[in-house]
Structure 1
Amino acid sequence: MHIGCPRNPVTNIECSKRGDCDSETRTCDCDAGWMGAACHIPDCPGDPDCFGRGTCDQTTSPPLCKSCQAGWMGPACNDPCINGKQTPMDSGWCIF
């Protein structure tokens, strides 16, 4: 019987295909941007995620922030766009 690493609780995939299984320790070594025993929890940049200024988008790999609050932009919602507006949203372009 093969006893492997933790599996994603929804997809039942070992390490969620977002990390490598260490068969000796039976633990997942998660890729950047993922955490949890089965690498199934998104971990966007910033602490807390997106510095509390946006939404963590887990459809990207690694997960990035989107829909940053006015005055902020970038993959962690930590790049200032104080005297302008990010146009279009999530583009990284601050238009004055």
Structure 2
Amino acid sequence: MITNTEIATLQDRWAHLRSHRRVVSRVKLLVEWEEGSSRQRANGITVDVSESGCMAVVSGPLRLNQCVRLIHPQNGKSAEAKVVWRDHEAWDVGLELVQPDASFWGVKI
């Protein structure tokens, strides 16, 4: 069984590895990308967000290192991003904003 001290040590370690603080927040997104000559679009929702990106569940076949456009339907903002992590069994992806912008998400970070 893992102790509270071990949990705190792991959390501290991960905090130092991250470029920006993460906040648990569910933000609905549209994700767009080019596939051949056509534009593809999928719905997504974040699991957590930071100034530099998010972890999200996206209902589309995104590839690692793929460039996408994130569209925040509530505030109309859009941002270019890159898929930097992808779960091999599900639709979970890590998305890094090309230009970090904490205001994109519409939540306090």
Q: TM-score range by the shorter chain?
A: under 0.3
Q: Which has the higher strand share?
A: 2
Q: Which has the higher contact order (CA 8 A, sep 6+)?
A: 2
TM-score (norm 2): 0.23
Q: Which has the higher helix share?
A: 2
